[in-house]
Amino acid sequence: MSINVNNLTKIYGKQTAVNSITFNIPSGKVVGFLGPNGAGKSTTMKMLTGYIPPTTGSGSICGIDIMENSLEVRKIVGYLPENNPLYLDMYVTEYLTFMAGISEVKQKKEAVEKVIETTQLQRERHKKIGQLSKGYRQRVGLAQSLIHDPKVLILDEPTSGLDPIQVVEIRNVIKSLGSDKTVLLSTHIMQEVEAMCDRVIIINKGNIAMDQSMEELRNDNSNLEQIFRKATNHVDTL
Amino acid sequence: MWTLYKKEIRSFLGSLIAYIVMGVYLIMTGLFLWFVDGNNLFDLGVASLQVMFDISPFILIFLVSAITMRSISEEKRLGTLEIITTKPLTDRSIILSKFLASVTLIALTLIPTLFYVYAVYNLAQPLGNIDLGSAAGSYLGLILLAACYASIGLFSSAITDNQIVALITSMVLSFFFYSILSMLGDINWLDQIGKSLSWFGLEYHFDSISRGVIDTRDVIFFLGFSSIFLGFTQLVFESRKW
């Protein structure tokens, strides 16, 4: 199992953001993590990457406990946080080299070249990040998460705010990564899930509302959007 | 950790802040040492750098606060903190590298003033008749003092995502620990209590070290003071986990 989550719970003050969720993701799968805003997607991802600890419950990535061995987990996880934060005053290659350094990559230069190629940043590599368009910034964010060739990728809304062409491009990049990495990604776009994912986990108000493979869903006749509405108890007014 | 340290240094040198800090420090100390009426070297008629070392702690309050105000608050505002804290780095090493980078920048800022030492050395009658021991002590004192200010600055930067709030908090705290505490020692009715409190002030130890006698107690005080504030910084840093 690549990602193992067991009764993971996060309580902020009195509010339960994530309520005892459990799921397992085998390696080499691309899993879509869906849910309305505020459902607990980002919180779950933050717990998995070691940014915040869970209130109760446990999780492990490739068999390494996220609480006890957080630093080891971070070495094998690539993380793209929501809104893709970047140092806008750094140059693309400078930033990626820096990221390679703090990710403890030995062959920094090679690693940077490789991610630049994967994310097709060749033309923009000598620019400052602040000068790039949103789509290219997103690629830099993705490149950063790939720099240490992680076994597991956790991407929080990797395609939000991109134009349709960029969405397709980023989607292809992620899909190609799915062949040898485990990817957990959150999104609001249903077509994206259909295009990229092998499996869908829908989370609502901190609880898992649905966890099914894409094949099972395809056999179902209703489309994903309807399933999503049903799973999140959204009353269909149309 | 050194990667982060190098990146911090580079971002200082890449932005205007480093050059403004160096320029302002040189101009201010230069003005007070050579030009400002009444107190300058020629008016005093003594070949000594005392004027520069008296004014430096106050200039450094501004400058160190200006250097450190961005360091954590900006990462919070941009969200990049989430990236570096999910890399294989401990929170402690993140704080430490930012701290060391700030202290290094101040040390670099002090280097050009060695020219003043050279000039005063050559002005003295007979040649070279200045208290070099005291000057060396003062330079060490300034670096240690800057380390304390930097730890206060980082703490202030950690508690907010607003640079201006960080700047003001840092200046007020630095001024309090440098000046206000030692002023308490001069209040008569506080008597012994005031004297004891002034011992906790940075000025007491800076004055002691700038006489040229490097007392380990003073050095330990400065290092301990920085460690305490760095500890507070780490506490604030980890508060996201509560």
**Partner residue facing B83 (CB), from A71, A85, A104:** A85
Query: CA A80 to CA A45: how far, in whole Å?
Result: 10
Domain A3-231: assigned CATH number: 3.40.50.300
User: Is B16's pLDDT higher than 80?
Assistant: yes
The answer, for A49 touching chain B at a CB cutoff of 8 Å, is yes
Contact B100, B7 (CB under 8 A): no
The DSSP annotation for A27-84 comes to TT-EEEEE--TTSSHHHHHHHHTTSS--SEEEEEETTEETTTTHHHHHHHEEEE-TT-
Residues in chain B with CB shorter than 8 Å from the CB of A103 are 87-88
Which among A69, A102, A147, A148 is the top mutation candidate for probing chain B, defined by the most B β-carbons within 10 Å of its own β-carbon? A102
| Residue-level pLDDT at B109 | 93
Q: Where are the domains of chain A?
A: 3-231
pLDDT for A221: 67
Whole-number average pLDDT of chain B: 90
Q: Residue A22 belongs to what H/E stretch? A: strand A15-25
- The whole-number pLDDT of residue A237 equals 52
Q: What is the pTM of this model?
A: 0.91
CB under 8 Å to A132, separation ≥6 — which residues? A92, A124, A140
Each residue's pLDDT tens digit, B20-46: 989 999 999 999 888 888 778 888 888
3-state secondary structure of A144: helix
Task: Kindly state the average pLDDT of the residues B202-208.
Answer: 91
Beta-carbon separation of A102 and B80 below 8 A: no
B57, containing H or E segment: helix B50-68
Distance of alpha carbon A41 from alpha carbon B61, whole angstroms: 44
| Top mean-pLDDT range of A215-224, B125-134, B150-159 | B150-159
Contact: A77, B80; criterion CB under 8 Å: no
Q: In the prediction, which pLDDT does B108 show?
A: 93
Partners of B15 on chain A (C-beta within 8 Å) are 89
Amino acid, single-letter form, for residue B175: F
Q: Region B74-78: what's the mean pLDDT? A: 92
Is any Cβ of chain B less than 8 angstroms from the Cβ of A50?
yes
Tens digits of pLDDT across chain A (238 residues): 789 999 999 998 888 899 889 999 988 889 998 888 888 899 999 999 989 999 999 999 998 999 888 899 999 999 999 889 999 989 999 999 999 999 989 899 999 999 999 888 899 899 999 999 888 899 999 999 999 999 999 999 888 778 888 888 888 888 888 778 899 999 888 778 888 888 989 888 888 888 888 888 777 766 777 777 777 776 555 4
Domain ranges of chain B: 2-241
Write down the pLDDT at residue A126: 92
* CA A16 to chain CA mean position, Å: 22
